[in-house]
Chain A
Amino acid sequence: MSSAGLSRTEFKKRIFVYTSLLPILAVYIFLRVLPILQNFLYSFFESTVVNPLQEFIGLTNYIDIFADQLFLISLRNTTVFAVFVTLFSVMIALVLAMLLSGKMRLGVLYETLYFLPVITPMVPVAVVWKWIYDPTYGLLNYGLSFLGIKPIAWLVYPDLAMWAIIIMSVWKVIGYNMIILLVGIRDIPDTFLEAAMIDGANRLQVFRFIIFPLLKPIMLFVTVISTINAYNVFTQVFIMTSGPQGAPGNAVRTLVFDIYENAFRYFKTGYAASEAVVLFLIVLFLTLVQFKLVGRER
């Protein structure tokens, strides 16, 4: 349609649309679209400190990362982290959401308490958790001493360090999952529940046969979002595993941490870009799974 075919008002509207949208789109392209695409490009190149596009090397970076022990460890650690954080945080959140779903006294207070960690920035809470896990003066070991457990160096032993970070991360995200599930439960029409109660269903049966099936799409949403977020874990790992009191590097090395080190400490940007592509594909896969499953539910 040419502008000559438009009325005067329509023409003015069109001018407005273009003058306001073009700068915004330019910013989008510069800050989002281009970097997302460029990352693929860089991943096919050998890079140097001064030139990220030194030489086209095809899939060499990809072949190399899958032979790189540190990358494989990171991938494994991140997967373990994502699976357990998601599993625990969704299960606990579901219990909380069920408990909070009815009208009850102090309900808003509980919601607020559980939601608090969600809105706080990661750095300060990671700092305080590191202090809680302190082997000599930490609050956790003090609490465990009442159960007769000897002091444990939580962030020093590889397996324990991973669990310590998982627990801290579950604590951080429970509230988010809880709120989403809570809305889902409250959206279930009361008549469904009342009908079931009148038919003599007990609390467990109501949950099993009415709430759970209706909640499935939201459970799925929460699970996928949690998994995606968990795959991008970085800040708490950086804070809690580094420095004099921190865990040894590779025990809780995660994907983004590996990308960060390769790109910004060793300046292997092409190599790190190929790792970022792997992360991108994992997230893309999870997103597609969600769309497909939610689509089927409807």
Chain B
Amino acid sequence: MRIPRFSFYGAAKHALLAVGGAFMVLPFVWMLSTSLKPPNEVLSWPPEFIPRHFTLENFATVFQTAPFVQFFFNSVAMAATATVSVLFLSALAGYVFGKFRFPGKNFLFILILATAMVPFETYMIPLYLSMVGLKWVNTFQGLVAPYLIMSYGIFFMRQNVLASIPDEILDASRIDGAGEFRIFFAIILPMLRGAAGALAIFAFMQTWAAFIWPLIITSDRGLWTMELGLGMFQYRFTVDLGPINAGSMLSILPVLTVFLLMRRHIVRGITLTGLKG
């Protein structure tokens, strides 16, 4: 859109966007600043953004006083397991829904999409009770289970299969005598690599940020995730602000890094599928 040049409008626009942008990043800057301050500076008045003495001792404290190393690895294990599962199951189901005809196909596809519209919070009680029945409370399986599938993932992979995999490839492979599973693993999966990258980011971020399910399914501290550990420590104990902000930085860092590296994919994925971050 070509807009005639009004320098006043342009300047006002930039001023507005810059002030708003500063407001958006302020909490992150404050978190970083607090995490790098020695204890006697954290509660200084007036507050200062740039620490007088930079220190990493808060990060050391986080690891010493609370099992945050454990929490971090629990989060990594949970998010990685969920991501692998979501990628594989979405690719398989997306391929089947995209390229095959079978009775009940539309019904099943709509059923899968419909479940995505129901918020997790409305069915977490029966899910929890199922886990009680399986004796999966306070286990890693129980913790990760709800995140192993993702309806949007199946939808997203089906779109990609339809858009990027021609029928001719499948027919040619069948004539060459390749079995259906072989075709999926040797031909389809590699062709879905690009889409898998985008989906992986979402599955990972969504699982990493999970809070209410880890909160209800685990009481054993050995299974707590980064988010739950942070939440519980600032809740149960009078918090040392330096270490808790250091912990927050550690929880944000992986997500932030991925976002800054893959910004374009993430934004595109969100606008295409309506995924929440």
Q: Which residues of A contact B (CB under 8 A)?
A: 1, 9, 12-18, 20-21, 24-25, 27-28, 30-36, 38-39, 41-42, 52, 96, 99-104, 106, 109-125, 127-132, 137, 139, 142, 171, 174-176, 179-180, 183, 190, 193-194, 197, 203, 221, 225, 228-229, 231-232, 234-235, 238-239, 242-246, 256, 259-260, 263-264, 269, 272-273, 276-277, 279-280, 283, 287
Most buried by B among A13, A101, A120, A263: A120
Shortest Cβ gap from A77 to chain B (Å): 15
Which size class do B's interface residues fall under?
Answer: 35 or more
Question: Does B64 reach chain A (CB closer than 8 Å)?
Answer: no
Q: In the complex, what residues of B have CB within 8 A of residue A194's CB?
A: 1-2
Question: Does B89 reach chain A (CB closer than 8 Å)?
Answer: yes
Question: Does B267 reach chain A (CB closer than 8 Å)?
Answer: yes
When each residue 138-175 of chain B gets 1 if its CB lies under 8 Å from chain A and 0 otherwise, what string results?
00000001101101000000000000000000000010
Shortest Cβ gap from A104 to chain B (Å): 8
- For B125, give its contact among A21, A128, A269 (CB under 8 Å): A269
A34 touches B248 (CB 8 A): no
- For the complex, give the distance between the alpha carbons of A117 and B247 in Å: 17
- For the complex, give the distance between the alpha carbons of A38 and B128 in Å: 11
- For the complex, give the distance between the alpha carbons of A180 and B108 in Å: 29
- For the complex, give the distance between the alpha carbons of A99 and B115 in Å: 36
Shortest Cβ gap from A204 to chain B (Å): 12
- For B46, give its contact among A120, A142, A235 (CB under 8 Å): A142
A119 touches B211 (CB 8 A): no
- For A119, give its contact among B174, B216, B234, B266 (CB under 8 Å): B266
Q: Which residues of B contact A (CB under 8 A)?
A: 1-3, 9, 13-14, 16-18, 20-21, 23-28, 30-31, 34, 43, 45-47, 89, 92-93, 96, 100, 102-103, 108, 111-112, 115, 117-130, 145-146, 148-149, 151, 174, 179-181, 184, 205, 208-209, 211-212, 215-216, 227-228, 230-231, 234-236, 238-239, 241, 244-245, 247-249, 251-252, 255-256, 259-260, 263, 266-267, 270-271, 274, 276-277
